[in-house]
Amino acid sequence: MENDLKYMRFLDYFSLEGKFDELVGIALFGLGRAGTIQLQNLLSCVRSQVCYVVEESQERLRVVEDKYKHKIPNAKFVRVTHISSLLKDPSVRAVIVCTPTFSHKDIVCKALAAGKHVFCEKPVAETNEDVRECYNTAKAHNVKLFCAFNRRYDPGLRSIKNKVLKGELGDVYLIKTTSRDSPIPSIEYLRSSGGIFHDCAVHDIDAVCWLMGEKPIRVQVFGSLLSPPLKELEGRDFDTVTISFQFASGKLALIDLSRNACYGYDQRCEVFGSKGMLENLNNRPNGIQQQTYNATKQDPILYSFPSRYQESYQIELQYFLDLVVGNAKEEVLQEDVLAVTRIASACEKSAKEGIVVNLDW
């Protein structure tokens, strides 16, 4: 029963004792894909209240206000220029940042300096120096900065982590992850994405290091550009890469990434140890199985991240609210965030120079 998280949440809704202790007022920045997911989840989250919805595009802001205003009648829909005044509003206890990467550092630091807890989509900032500044600001103002590596809140991956910690796998020998995007990103997006390592691989790198409880000391990568529609990126980026890690303990990891799988959003993880193996297999939209003369068929795996990680986003939001009210301890640490960036850069170097890159920690 306790693995059926949807049922556990129902029990929580239904309970007579479920009254939250503290209602958390939220300002949400950014109404792109991630921001829309957060807004939708905030509507049904009884522990929170949306105070401000902030978006740079006037047009997008108006559309969202039209659509959502009646669900959050006390919320204000404003542009980013209102940041100073809204950060003075004491009803805002936390800020969720889903704006484009270049704007993260400014919003994050201002919010932290105003004493607001911050949830920020990865990466927290564009350079490690800026990331450090963000964390220093959080520390100085005694508030939390949460970098949203949302896969850590995937029920499957979390279950693997818990089983590893409980020793169900014995000694871990090898971790493998596969991440293949769906649908194929636009060439415009890819041109400014920062490259496959900093844009995509960071999620897998974080997951692998988190599960392993170690950081790799040797990194090797092969990268290729194989998909015809992406050929113009040749020499600047890859669409298919294999990443190999060796850890100080001798343990190993393999990651493979692709910018596009036509059959859906392929997200798998496997941990192999002395007492067995755990796999987080792809999720499916329903339990239909069709048998015909030619084949046994199921519907394709989930198509993209909003459906595949729907539950992760919801659980991550609950975790952040627990962090805000002091009911949870920090799980994504500054050192994790910095390490992931450093490893991603090592991957890029290995792929471009054709060498094994060593890392000291």
Half-sphere exposure of 359 (CA within 13 A, CB side): 23
Binding to its own copies in span 171-190, by CB under 8 A: 171, 173-174, 176, 180, 183
Per-residue binding string, its own copies, 95-134, x by CB under 8 A, is ----------------------------------------
Q: Which of 147, 145, 27 minimizes the C-alpha distance to 79?
A: 27
Q: Which of 84, 290, 329, 360 binds its own copies (CB under 8 A)?
A: 290
Q: Which of residues 5-64 bind its own copies (CB under 8 A)?
A: 5-7, 10, 13-14, 16, 18-20, 23, 33, 36-37, 40-41, 43-44, 46, 49, 60, 63
For residue 235, give Cα distances in angstroms to 224, 238, 244, 257, 356.
9, 8, 21, 17, 20
For the CB of residue 206, give the shortest distance to its own copies in the complex, in Å.
19
Name the residue nearer to its own copies (CB basis): 115 or 285. Answer: 285
Provide, rounded to whole angstroms, the least separation between the CB of residue 8 and its own copies: 9
Would you say the C-alpha torsion 21, 25, 30, 35 has a positive or negative sign?
positive
Residue 104 CB contacts under 8 Å (≥ 6 apart), including other chains: 97, 120, 121, 123, 124, 125, 126
- Listing DSSP states for 75-130 in one string gives -EEE-GGGHHHHHH-TT--EEEE-S-GGGHHHHHHHHHHTT-EEEEESPSSSSHHH
d(CA 325, CA 297): 47
- List the one residue from 191, 231, 236, 275 that touches its own copies (CB under 8 A): 275
**Least distance from C-beta 156 to its own copies, angstroms?**
4
How many residues of this chain interact with its own copies, rule: CB under 8 A? 107
What strands lie across the sheet with 117-121, from one edge to the other? 76-78, 48-54, 24-29, 94-97, 117-121, 145-148
Q: Which residue in the set 21, 70, 129, 188 belongs to the binding site for its own copies (CB under 8 A)? A: 70
Place of tokens 């959003």: 265
Residue 95 to residue 32: CA distance in whole angstroms: 16
Figure out which of the listed residues 237, 266, 316, 336 binds its own copies, where binding follows CB under 8 A: 266
User: Residue 157's closest CA among 42, 339, 149, 254?
Assistant: 149
| Cβ nearer to its own copies, comparing 134 with 252 | 252
Q: Which of 92-100, 190-198, 203-211, 349-357 is the region at the interface with its own copies (rule: CB under 8 A)?
A: 349-357
User: Which region among 65-73, 134-142, 200-208, 325-333 touches its own copies (by CB under 8 A)?
Assistant: 65-73
Q: Is 349 in the site for its own copies (CB under 8 A)?
A: no
Q: Which lies closer to its own copies via its Cβ, residue 193 or residue 246? A: 246
Residue from 76, 132, 163, 349 that binds its own copies (CB under 8 A)?
163
From the list 58, 81, 142, 289, which residue makes contact with its own copies (rule: CB under 8 A)?
289
21 token code pair: 């202790």
Closest distance to its own copies from the beta carbon of 87 (Å) = 22
Q: Which residue has the tokens 């939390």?
A: 144
Q: Is 303 in the site for its own copies (CB under 8 A)?
A: yes
State the Cα–Cα distance between residues 222 and 241, nearest whole angstrom.
Answer: 6
Q: Does 222 help bind its own copies (rule: CB under 8 A)? A: yes
Please report which residue ranges of 166-232 form alpha helices under DSSP H: 187-191, 195-196, 202-212
CB 38 within 8 A of CB 26: no
Q: Which of 218, 322, 325, 342 binds its own copies (CB under 8 A)?
A: 218
Q: Say whether 53 sits in a helix, a strand or coil.
A: strand
By CB under 8 A, is residue 156 in contact with its own copies? yes
Q: Smallest gap, in angstroms, from Cβ of residue 259 to its own copies?
A: 10
Site for its own copies in 231-260 (CB under 8 A): 240-242, 244-246, 250-254, 256, 258
CB of 353 to its own copies, least distance (A): 9
In whole angstroms, how close is the CB of 173 to its own copies at the nearest point? Answer: 5
